[in-house]
Amino acid sequence: MSTTILGISAFYHDSAAAIIRDGEIIAAAQEERFSRKKHDPRFPHHAINYCLEEAFIESSELDAVVFYDNPLFTWDRVLKNCMMAGPRSFDQFKKASRSVLGIKMWVKDYIIRSIGSLGKLDKLLFTEHHMSHAASAFYPSPFQKAAIITLDGVGEWATTTIGLGTDNRIELFQEINYPHSLGLLYSAFTYYCGFKVNSGEYKLMGLAPYGEPIYYDAIRENLIDIKEDGSYNLNTEYFGYLDSSVMTNDKFNNLFGGSPRKPESYITRREMDMAASIQKTLEEVILRMALHTKKETGADNLVMAGGVALNCVANGKVLKKGIFDDFWIQPAASDAGGAVGAALLVSHAYFDIPRKINPNGRDTQRGSYLGPAYKPSEVVAFLGRKGYPYERIANPQQLAEKIAQVIADGKIVGYFAGRMEFGPRALGARSILGDPRRRETQSVMNLKIKFRESFRPFAPSVLAEDVSEFFEMESESPYMLLVAPVRKERCLPMNLRKFQEGDDNMSAVITQSRSDIPAVTHVDYSARVQTVHPSDKPDYYHVIKKFKDLTGYGIIVNTSFNVRGEPIVCSPQDAYRCFMRTEMDLLVLEDCLLWKEEQPAFEDTEDWRKTYELD
Amino acid sequence: MNSTRDDDTLLEVTRFFFEELMPLAKKLQDEGKAFFSVKPNPNAQTYYKKREKTIMHPESFEVVGCDSFDSFEEALIDMWTSQGYSELTKLAPTLLKLAKSLYFVEEQSEDISPFIYVMF
């Protein structure tokens, strides 16, 4: 008899579902991929249905259904926050009443309406938000024992937790509570710099290397007190989130010399310096916290989750510092991963199912390829029905060789193969690929394919065995969660004179070759690395391997298969639509190749720039 | 959801906030009680707090109060009593009424879902 658990995260941001059977992750997906609404926080009807289908199970056959946090404690925080903030928080109270008291509290009813059953237990289980994060980080990791750090905006009350995982047991023994939150602090700067909260944090991190941390002292003196052990408290007088729907207030604005940047307006030196300053602050907290956690637990390994754990620059610093022997981060580190964590926690702590550690020393996240796949026959049927011309190459080696040749010729390829990734990064199942040796790849991909800000860097996918040939890095980074320096001998000097003299125009920097792999080398000579191992994704590995055979470089550019503001594509239809709306040259749908110039005129019935709200 | 019910619910929420919640908040504030610190304490050695519950036991997965209206009021009272905030327990009956009024009020057609705000 097997034990199957459905985990659900919803009603915050990025709702998701996951199915765990006997402690193994069977399927996980974010609702946004199906609803096509980025970071969709609504009840994940589609993701749940997909997970049930993938597990070949009816809802009534589930052993348990679990929700990833505790709405009662969330309401406790909402109410007490408004009592502390006073009458100015009325607007916030109105919204919170509707969303928490009106909906989130009664998630059980949503589940029954959606799938008709709560499974054999006939009652909904709940975890604690940071316990879900901790479980998502520890259980799939390759470690029998590991220290745990979770960091996010806020759960019920906790914003930071520290603990230890050993076999089936997860213990969280220290915490920092709302309103003191590293995640909310970073989000406040994200908002102030004109990017979207809970979405644009990644852009802020990418912007940081352009600036100087000249506001670091102002941040340390006014906004945050950091203790030696990495614990911290904020001065909430500077933040808007206690009593309004925005992150900062006038006091914050005055400290940094003016109003927040308007979204989509010109990015100035101030935003670059703000980004550099808050990034330095965040790294300082995390490094101190890692040292403290090592001291408290004595563990050799560290696992992390929570939205802040997606800050791969900070992660890279922790790795470099060598505080722990090894390090694993849940790839769906933000709330979506809570669905996996909650279901794993119920498996191991409620049903007492023994934890299985991968005997080959790798993790049990299965490369995070946990979403839907489409068989070649389904793709062929789709293309036939639509009348889209294609070439089919059934031999995997020949297919990989052909794709590699196209990339080496400087073309941009949409690559759709196998199960969709779970988590925010595309890892070679729903990716756009390019040649990293070409200087123009970054600007072409940013401006003609992704339609996003030109300063944003692209990430490399590199053969796992070749990683140290390109980067100062020995370990694997299968989920693109570590940043490492490009090897010095590959780097080229840049002329930064004009930029350093005060010319804010970043394009003067962006367009310069920084190394022999310029498309994936950021302005600080770093890269956000994905190592590709043949056992995780053989088809993708072979494309890179063939590219190496042709060029001598076992590395390609990998960016998510979407345009700005659009969720990563899920189905062949999504992929074709995105392909036709952009200047990609070739679309690979499993073993079918579609050339742009051969396709019929695309009749777009919607203005996608309006459909997809800019992120 | 009809607009009359919307209006009535908003009136209830408004009345609760200004006539029950804020006066109680003021009273607690006057008594020097605070639910959390809003500023750093330079004299503190650490800001880490020891957690009371460090692991999830099987019974802690079962949250009373979120399963039905019947248990909601009592769950709030139990929670606040156990936390030492018995002053809050008198809010529970009105919160139950509000929960009933707000139940499934949310419409997902809004451009920006209230769920995205960090508070929730």
Distance in Å, alpha carbon of B106 to nearest chain A alpha carbon = 6
* CB spacing of B55 vs A96 below 8 angstroms: no
Contact (Cβ atoms closer than 8 angstroms) between residue A106 and residue A35 = no
The better pLDDT of the pair B8, A525 is held by: A525
* CB spacing of B67 vs A178 below 8 angstroms: no
pLDDT category at B105 given cuts 50, 70, 90 is low
pLDDT of residue A105: 94
Closest-CA residue of chain A to B45 = A227
pLDDT category at B2 given cuts 50, 70, 90 is low
* The pairing of beta strand A145-151 with beta strand A158-166: antiparallel
> What span, in angstroms and rounded, lies between the C-alpha atoms of A25 and A156?
25
Distance in Å, alpha carbon of A323 to nearest chain B alpha carbon = 20
* CB spacing of B34 vs A84 below 8 angstroms: yes
pLDDT of residue A499: 82
pLDDT of residue B116: 40
pLDDT category at A402 given cuts 50, 70, 90 is very high
* CB spacing of B66 vs A108 below 8 angstroms: yes
> Which of B47, B50, B76 is facing A227, going by the closest CB pair?
B47
Taking 90 as the threshold, does the pLDDT of residue B115 lie above it?
no
Taking 60 as the threshold, does the pLDDT of residue B109 lie above it?
no
Taking 70 as the threshold, does the pLDDT of residue A567 lie above it?
yes
Start-to-end C-alpha separation, chain A: 45
Contact (Cβ atoms closer than 8 angstroms) between residue A370 and residue A29 = yes
pLDDT tens figures, A380-396: 999 999 999 999 999 99
Mean pLDDT in residue range A124-130: 98
| A615 closest CA partner among A442, A449, A451, A430 | A451
**Alpha-carbon distances of B74 from A71, A72, A73, A173, rounded to whole Å:** 15, 12, 14, 29
A76 contacts: CB under 8 Å, gap ≥ 6 = A156, A157, B79, B80
> Which of A83, A198, A241 is facing B119, going by the closest CB pair?
A241
Mean pLDDT in residue range A45-69: 97
Taking 90 as the threshold, does the pLDDT of residue A606 lie above it?
no
> Which of B41, B54, B99 is facing A173, going by the closest CB pair?
B54
pLDDT tens figures, A477-500: 999 999 999 999 999 998 888 888
* CB spacing of A78 vs B120 below 8 angstroms: yes
pLDDT tens figures, B32-88: 999 999 999 999 999 999 999 999 999 999 999 998 899 999 999 999 999 999 999
> Which of A78, A170, A198 is facing B55, going by the closest CB pair?
A170
Disruptive mutation site among A77, A80, A221 for chain B (greatest number of B CBs within 10 Å)? A80
* CB spacing of B25 vs A236 below 8 angstroms: no
Closest-CA residue of chain B to A127 = B61
As given in the structure block, the two tokens for residue A274 are 């703000």
* CB spacing of B115 vs A42 below 8 angstroms: yes
> What span, in angstroms and rounded, lies between the C-alpha atoms of A565 and A65?
31
> What span, in angstroms and rounded, lies between the C-alpha atoms of A48 and A30?
9
pLDDT category at A511 given cuts 50, 70, 90 is confident
Contact (Cβ atoms closer than 8 angstroms) between residue A48 and residue A118 = no
pLDDT of residue A459: 95
Distance in Å, alpha carbon of B2 to nearest chain A alpha carbon = 15
pLDDT of residue A246: 86
Taking 70 as the threshold, does the pLDDT of residue A234 lie above it?
yes
* CB spacing of A233 vs B41 below 8 angstroms: yes
Taking 60 as the threshold, does the pLDDT of residue B119 lie above it?
no
* CB spacing of A180 vs B47 below 8 angstroms: yes
Contacts of A108 in chain B (CB under 8 A): 66-67
pLDDT of residue A501: 81
> Which of A169, A233, A346 is facing B37, going by the closest CB pair?
A233
Mean pLDDT in residue range A240-268: 92
Distance of CA A51 to the CA centre of its chain: 20
Look at A118-132, A372-386, A501-515 and tell me which has the smallest mean pLDDT.
Answer: A501-515
* The pairing of beta strand A526-532 with beta strand A459-463: parallel
pLDDT category at B114 given cuts 50, 70, 90 is very low
Task: Please indicate if any CB of chain A lies within 8 Å of the CB of B113.
Answer: yes
Contact (Cβ atoms closer than 8 angstroms) between residue A598 and residue A604 = no
Disruptive mutation site among B22, B61, B62, B72 for chain A (greatest number of A CBs within 10 Å)? B61
Contacts of B11 in chain A (CB under 8 A): none
Contacts of B14 in chain A (CB under 8 A): 90, 94
Mean pLDDT in residue range A23-27: 98
Distance of CA A516 to the CA centre of its chain: 27
| B105 closest CA partner among B9, B4, B16, B17 | B9
Task: Please indicate if any CB of chain A lies within 8 Å of the CB of B65.
Answer: yes
Taking 50 as the threshold, does the pLDDT of residue A529 lie above it?
yes
> What span, in angstroms and rounded, lies between the C-alpha atoms of A352 and A412?
48
Residue A213 DSSP SS3: coil
Contacts of A14 in chain B (CB under 8 A): none
Residues 25-64 of B with CB under 8 A from A: 25, 28, 34-42, 44-51, 54-58, 61-63
Contacts of A74 in chain B (CB under 8 A): 120
Contact (Cβ atoms closer than 8 angstroms) between residue A58 and residue A344 = no
Contacts of A13 in chain B (CB under 8 A): 115-116
Give helix A45-54 / helix A107-115 axis angle, nearest 10°.
50
Disruptive mutation site among B27, B56, B70, B95 for chain A (greatest number of A CBs within 10 Å)? B56
| A581 closest CA partner among A556, A602, A558, A567 | A602
> Which of A81, A105, A236 is facing B66, going by the closest CB pair?
A105
- Number of inter-chain CB pairs under 8 A, A vs B: 213
Tell whether omega for the bond before A372 is within 30 degrees of 0, i.e. cis: no
pLDDT category at B117 given cuts 50, 70, 90 is very low
* CB spacing of A90 vs B76 below 8 angstroms: no
| A151 closest CA partner among A230, A268, A85 | A230
Average pLDDT, chain A: 94
Query: Could you give all domains of chain A from N- to C-terminal order, each with its CATH number?
Result: 4-127+339-350 (3.30.420.40), 141-329 (3.30.420.40), 376-611 (3.90.870.20)
ipTM of the complex, rounded to two decimals: 0.93
pLDDT category at B107 given cuts 50, 70, 90 is low
Mean pLDDT in residue range A125-133: 98
pLDDT of residue A443: 82
